[in-house]
Each structure stands twice: as C-alpha cells, then as structure tokens.
Chain A
C-alpha cells in the first residue's frame, strides 16, 4: 500500500465518521474541500511548471552552490529572502522545497524558506498593517525573519 493510499483511507474513514455524526456538516466539509481544491490546485500546477522550468534551465550545481551546505548562513538568508517574496499557497511550499532539497539545498536553507514563505508575505503586509497597525507589522515581520534564521540554523545543525 502506498503512503498516499493510507492517507486517503484515513481521510475516507474520518469522512464516514463525520457523515454518521452530522450529515449537514459533512456536506459543508466537502464543499470546503472542493473550494480549497479550486483555490490551491491551479496554484500547484503553476508552481510545478515553475519547478520544471527551473529544473530545465538551472543546473543543480547552481542551486547547491547558492543554498547548499557550503553556503552557510548566507544561504539561509538568501532562502529566507526568497520565501518572503514567494506569493505561494502554503500547500505549494512543500513540493517546491522538495525540489530544492533534491537539487542540493541544505535543510537549514529549506527551513528558512519554508518559515518565511508561510509566515511573511510581501503581499499581506498592507493588510496586516491595516488590521494590526504598522508598528505591530514591522516588529512581527522582522522578529519572524530573525526567528526563522535561528530555527533554520538549529534544524541544519541537528539534521
């Protein structure tokens, strides 16, 4: 049995349980899942095309050089900077990171990328400033960038 089939079996089991408990909520859950599919799947398609394009044009050595173990803290900072600008759905972060890992990026650099890609978004800055204030937004994003750097170094040190 493949890993994906196990996950599907678990999801199916929980869906059945939910159906037994509350039919209306389960229908709502399926509708939400469908909306998420429409929201995320096209973005995943774009990200996968981008991955393939990078694969076709950028040699592995380049990525390994920029983000590999030898790139050290500079590589982590570069990966974090890319993560800040990446306008991608959280669900697309991991496939893209997997591509970077296979191309020779270090775990530390990938941790930096994953954390900033999820938690810092250039595109969400205006919304965050409007909702929570400029001071909060500036402090949170700087702190997150710094914390991601430390967490990335710890992950790189352990793995």
Chain B
C-alpha cells in the first residue's frame, strides 16, 4: 500500500538523520532524542484531537461540497465567500489544486480561485497547533489578515491573468 511506503520512507529518513548524528556525536544524538520526545509529549494530545476534528470535518463538510458553492456565485458575494469559507478546509496543496481546476471548469472567476487558495492557507483546522506553538495573538492576527489578503490577491491575480490570452487558464 502506498500509504505504508510513505510511512516507512519518512520514519526511515528521520531514523537515518538521527542515527547519523548519534554516530558523529552521542551527546548531540541525545539532544535530538530529547527534542523529539519532548515535542511529541507536548503535542500528541493536540495532534490526536486535530486529526479527529479534521476527519469529522472532511466527512460533514467535504471540500468538494464547499467548492460547489462557488461555481455559480460570480459577483462580490462569491469573492467574499471564497475569502472566508475555505479557511475551514483541511488538506494540502496537492488536494486543493485539482479541486480548483474543477471549479475553474465550472466557470468560477480567477479572483474566486485565487482567493480560495489563499484563504485555505488560513488553516483553521490546525488552529490548536498554531496557538500552542506560536501563541493565540499570532494565530488570531494571521487568521484575521488572511481574509482581506485573500480577496485582494484574488482580484490582483484576475487582473493579471485575464489581461492577455483569456483562454490560457484552464484550457489545458
């Protein structure tokens, strides 16, 4: 199974680096071990909770269903939704980009696509981790700033992309 190969590769890579450090200097190997243990100890409960929440979110609010909202909404309402709602979606760029292509094919504006991707970077599902490591002030500020940034970036992107060769995007 591909997933298990992925598990083996990353565990192996981590073990390799750790082993190399430990061979070069046992003292430093111990520092690495201590750091790994401490960080896992601090975060394992938060991580477990976040994973369960993302699992629930994916099932009850699937990204595809969210994306469907944007196919028809063309005007300011669509842009406003695209700059806010996606902060709640999980996943990595690898899962979001194909969704964006599907949206584009349904006729969504470039501004909506650009705003959607940027707002998705708000990463609300990871908020517990962000607050733990960077503080609630940082997390709240970043979340508050990403919404207007997403809307403006979407509009700027549309202005650039649509200027020439309007058929370029999504045509492939």
Contact = CB atoms under 8 A, between A and B. Distances in A.
Given A38-B6, A45-B14, A95-B129, A130 B172 contact: yes
Given A98-B133, A115-B121, A133-B170, A11 B6 contact: no
Interface in A124-151: 124, 127-128, 130-136, 139-140, 143-144, 147, 150-151
Interface in B65-87: none
Interface string A1-33: 011110110111011001000000110111111
Interface of B: 3-4, 6-11, 13-15, 17-18, 21, 25, 28-29, 31-36, 39-40, 43-56, 58-60, 90, 92-94, 97-98, 100-101, 104, 110, 113-114, 117-118, 121, 123, 126, 128-130, 132-134, 137-138, 141-142, 145-146, 149, 152-153, 156-157, 160-161, 165, 168-172
Contacts of B161: 133, 135-136, 139
Interface of A is mostly: helix
A26 B51 CA distance: 13
B44 A4 contact: yes
A132 B113 contact: yes
A101 interface: yes
Lowest 7 CB-CB distances: which A-B pairs, in order? A4-B45, A98-B133, A33-B55, A52-B35, A52-B32, A42-B10, A7-B49
B32 A101 contact: no
Given A128-B93, A140-B117, 18 more contacts: A4-B44, A7-B49, A7-B50, A14-B52, A26-B56, A36-B54, A36-B55, A39-B3, A42-B6, A43-B10, A44-B47, A46-B17, A48-B39, A98-B134, A127-B94, A131-B98, A154-B145, A159-B141
A97 interface: yes
**Could you tell me the dominant secondary structure of chain B's interface residues?**
helix
A8 B121 contact: no
A52 B33 contact: yes
A114 interface: yes
Contacts of B14: 42, 45-46, 48-50
A7 B110 CA distance: 37
A119 to B, nearest CB: 4
Given A7-B128, A48-B39, A144 B118 contact: yes
Contacts of A7: 45-46, 49-50, 128
Given A3-B132, A46-B14, A111-B138, A132 B97 contact: yes
A133 B172 contact: yes
Contacts of B130: 94
Contacts of A151: 142, 145-146, 149
A94 B11 contact: no
Contact of A57 (B28, B33, B46): B28
